[in-house]
Structure 1
Amino acid sequence: MTATSSGPADVQVGPYRLLTKIGEGGMGVVHLAQGPDGHRVALKVLRTHIIGDDEARERLSREVSSMRRVSSPRIAEIIDADPWGETPYVATRYVPGLSLHQHVQQEGPIRGADLRWFAAGLAEAVIAVHSVGVLHRDIKPSNVLLEGRSPVLIDFGLARLAEDPRLTHTGWLLGTPGYLAPEILYGEDATTASDVHAWAATLVFAATGRGPFGTGPAMAIMDRVRRGEHDLTGVPEELLPLVRAALAAEPDERPSTGALLAAVRGPAGPAAAAEVPVEHPTLPYVLAQPDPDPTARVTGSGAPVSGAGSWTPATPPPAAVAGTTTPLTVPGPGRPAAGPGTTTPLTVAGPHPAPGGVPPMVPAREPYMMPPPPSRGADQRPRLVPPTPGRPTATARAQRLLLLGGGLAVVAFGFAAAPYLTFLVLTALALAVRTVSWTTEAARERQHLRGRRRWYDAPLTLASSPWYLLVATGGTLMLVTWAGVVTSLTGLALALVGLPLSWALIGLGGVLGFTLWWGPGAKRLRLPTYRVVAAVTRDPWVGWTVVAAVGLVLGVLVYAVVDGGVSWAPEPGAPWRSGTLLGRLLGRL
Structure 2
Amino acid sequence: MTTSPKAPPPGLTVGGYALRARLGEGGMGVVHLGQKPGERPVAIKVLRPHIVGDDEARRRLAREVSSLSRVRSRRIAEIVDADPWGEIPFVATRYVPGLSLHDHVQEEGPLTGDDLVWFADCLGEALEAVHDVGVLHRDIKPSNVIMEGRTPILIDFGLARVADDSRITMTGWLLGTPGYLAPEILYGDDATAASDVHAWAATVAFAGTGRAPFGRGPSVAVMDRVRRGEHDLSGLDPAMLPLVEEALAPAAEDRPSLDEVRDWLEDLAGGRPPRPAAPMTQPMVTSMYDDLAAPTRIGTGVAPAAEDTVHWSDEWSSPLDDFYDDRLTQDGGDAGTEPHRQTRVLPDGTTEYVSSEYGPVRERVPAGERLRRALTLLAVGGVATAGITFAPYVALAAIFFTVWLLRSGSRAAASAGNRRSRRGIKWYDGIQLLLAAPWHVLAGLGGTLVLLLWSLGIGAAFALLCFAASVSITTSLAVIGAAFTIGLWWGPGSERLRSPVHRAVDPLARRGVAWLLVTLMVAAGASFLGAAASAQGPVWTPDDSAPLSDVRLPGWL
TM-score (norm 2): 0.52
CA offset at residue 174 of structure 1? 1.5
Query: 2:287 is matched by which residue type in structure 1?
Result: L
In the alignment, residue 244 of structure 2 is paired with which amino acid? V
Q: Which runs of structure 2 are paired with 1:484-499 in the superposition (5 Å)? A: none
Whether 1:361 and 2:418 are equivalent positions in the alignment is: yes
| Deviation at residue 10 of structure 1 after TM alignment | 2.8
The alpha carbon displacement at 1:196 in A equals: 0.5
Amino acid at match of 2:43: A
Kindly state the Cα deviation for residue 341 of structure 1 after the two structures are TM-superposed.
3.5
Query: Which 10-residue stretch deviates more, 340-349 or 186-195?
Result: 340-349
2:300 equivalent in structure 1: 333
Q: How does 1:337-416 map to 2 (within 5 A)?
A: 341=306, 345-346=310-311, 347-349=314-316, 358-359=337-338, 361-363=418-420
Distance, in Å, in 1 between the alignment partners of 2:302 and 2:18 is 42
Question: Displacement of 1:206 after TM fit?
Answer: 0.8
Structure 1, residues 299-341: CA drift from partner, whole Å, max 9, x if none?
Answer: xxx9x9xxxxxxxxxxxxxxxxxxxxxxxx967833347xx73
Equivalent residue number for residue 147 of structure 1? 148
Shift of 1:270: 11
1-structure distance, mates of 2:33, 2:191: 31
| 1:17 matched residue in structure 2 | 18
Paired residue type of 1:282: P
Q: Retained in 2: the 8 A contact 1:40–1:94? A: yes
Structure 2: distance between partners of 1:137 and 1:259: 20
Identity value in percent:
56
Partner SS for 1:287: coil
Over residues 360-403 of structure 1, what are the superposed CA-to-partner deviations in whole Å (9 max), with x where a residue is unaligned?
Answer: 725159999xxxxxxxxxxxxxxxxxxxxxx9xxxxxxxxxxxx
| Residue 289 of structure 1: how far off its partner (Å) | 3.2
Q: Following the alignment from structure 2 to structure 1, what is the Cα–Cα distance between the partners of residues 238 and 132?
A: 30
AA matched with 1:334: G
Structure 1 residue 115: deviation in Å?
1.1
1:170-181 matches, cutoff 5 A: 174-181=175-182
2-structure distance, mates of 1:115, 1:52: 43
Report the AA paired with residue 306 of structure 2: G
Shift of the 56–28 alpha-carbon distance from structure 1 to 2, 3 Å rule, reads closer
> Which letter maps to 2:300?
P
Q: 1:265 to 1:335 in 2, by over 3 A?
A: closer
Distance in 2 separating the partners of 1:259 and 1:132: 19
Rg bigger for which structure? Answer: 1
**2:56 matched to 1:55?**
yes
**SS of 2:13 mapped into structure 1:** strand
Instruction: Report the counterpart of residue 481 of structure 1 in structure 2.
Output: none
| Alignment correspondent of 1:134 | 135
Counting only pairs closer than 5 Å after superposition, residues 255-294 of structure 1 correspond to structure 2 as 255-266=256-267, 268-269=269-270, 282-283=283-284, 286-289=286-289
2:245 is equivalent to residue 244 of structure 1: yes
- Cα distance in 2 for residues equivalent to 1:76 and 1:163: 24
- Name the CA distance, whole Å, in 2 between partners of 1:126 and 1:365: 29
State the 1:47 CA deviation.
1.4
AA aligned to 2:179 is: G
Q: CA deviation at 1:291?
A: 6.5
Which runs of structure 2 are paired with 1:481-520 in the superposition (5 Å)? none
Q: Tell me, in whole angstroms, the C-alpha distance in 2 between the residues paired with 1:80 and 1:286.
A: 24
Amino acid at match of 2:85: W
RMSD of the alignment, in Å?
Answer: 3.8
Shift of 1:31: 0.7
Contact map agreement 2:167 2:174 (CA 8 A) in 1: no
| Deviation (angstroms), 1:159 | 3.8
Partner-residue secondary structure (3-state), 1:210: coil
Q: Give the drift of 1:207.
A: 0.9
Check the 8 A contact 1:330/1:343 in 2, yes or no. no
1:102 aligned residue:
103
Between the two proteins, the alignment pairs up a number of residues equal to 325
Q: 3-state SS of the aligned residue for 1:178?
A: helix
| Whole-Å separation in 2 of the counterparts to 1:252 and 1:14 | 44
1:205 Cα deviation after fit:
0.7
**Paired letter, 1:109:** P
Letter in 2 for 1:287: S
Superposition deviation, residue 209 in structure 1: 1.0
Classify 1:163/1:69 alpha carbon distance in 2 versus 1 (closer, same or farther; 3 Å).
same
8 Å CA contact 1:97, 1:367 repeated in 2: no
Q: 1:117 to 1:367 in 2, by over 3 A?
A: farther
Shift of 1:25: 2.0
Task: Write out per-residue CA displacement over residues 514-568 of structure 1, whole angstroms, 9 at most, x where no aligned residue.
Answer: xxxxxxxxxxxxxxxxxxxxxxxxxxx9xxxxxxxxxxxxxxxxxxxxxxxxxxx
Q: Over residues 445-466 of structure 1, what are the superposed CA-to-partner deviations in whole Å (9 max), with x where a residue is unaligned?
A: xxxxxxxxxxxxxxxxxxxxxx
Secondary structure, aligned partner of 1:61: helix
In structure 1, what is the equivalent of residue 71 of structure 2? 70
TM-score, with normalisation over the residues of structure 1?
A: 0.49
The aligned counterpart of 1:112 is 113
* C-alpha spacing 1:235/1:366, structure 2 compared with 1 (3 Å): farther
Question: Taking structure 1 as reference, are residues 159 and 49 closer, same or farther at Cα in structure 2, changes over 3 Å only?
Answer: farther
Equivalent residue runs for 1:73-92 within 5 Å: 73-92=74-93
Shift of 1:129: 0.8
Partner-residue secondary structure (3-state), 1:80? strand
Structure 1 distance, partners of 2:171, 2:422, is: 31
Question: Which is bigger in relative contact order (C-alpha 8 A, separation at least 6)?
Answer: 1
Alpha-carbon distance in 1 for matches of 2:109, 2:199: 20
Aligned-partner Cα distance in 1 for 2:174–2:282: 27
The answer as to whether partners of 1:280 and 1:331 remain within 8 angstroms in 2 is: no
Q: Distance in 1 between matches of 2:149 and 2:185?
A: 33
Unmatched tracts of structure 2, length 5 or more: 1-7, 330-335, 339-416, 431-513, 515-557
Label 1:104 to 1:335 Cα distance change in 2 as closer, same or farther (>3 A): same
Which residue is equivalent to 1:253? 254
Deviates more, 1:61-70 or 1:42-51: 42-51
**Residues of 1 paired with 2:422 and 2:105: CA distance?**
15
Q: Which residue of 1 aligns with 2:350?
A: none
Cα distance between partner residues in 1 of 2:265 and 2:150: 16
Whether the aligned pair in 1 keeps the contact of 2:41 and 2:421 (CA below 8 Å) is: no
CA distance in 2: counterparts of 1:188 and 1:210, whole angstroms: 27
- SS of the equivalent of 1:237 reads coil
Residues 184 and 191, structure 2, Cα contact 8 Å, conserved in 1: yes
What is the letter of the counterpart of residue 176 of structure 2? G
SS at structure 1 position matched to 2:243? helix
Segments of structure 1 that go 5 or more residues without pairing to the other structure are: 1-6, 293-297, 305-328, 369-390, 392-540, 542-589
Cα deviation digits, residues 149-176 of structure 1 (max 9, x gap): 000111236343994855446xx55211
The 3 A distance-change label for structure 1 pair 59 and 124 is same
Alpha-carbon deviation of 1:290? 6.0
Separation (CA, whole Å) in 2 of partners of 1:165 and 1:108: 36
Distance 1:261 1:28, change over 3 A: same
1:350 CA drift (Å):
5.2
Q: Is the contact between residue 49 and residue 167 of structure 1 (CA under 8 Å) also seen in structure 2? A: no
Return 346-355 or 10-19, whichever deviates more.
346-355
Q: Secondary structure at the match of 1:20?
A: strand
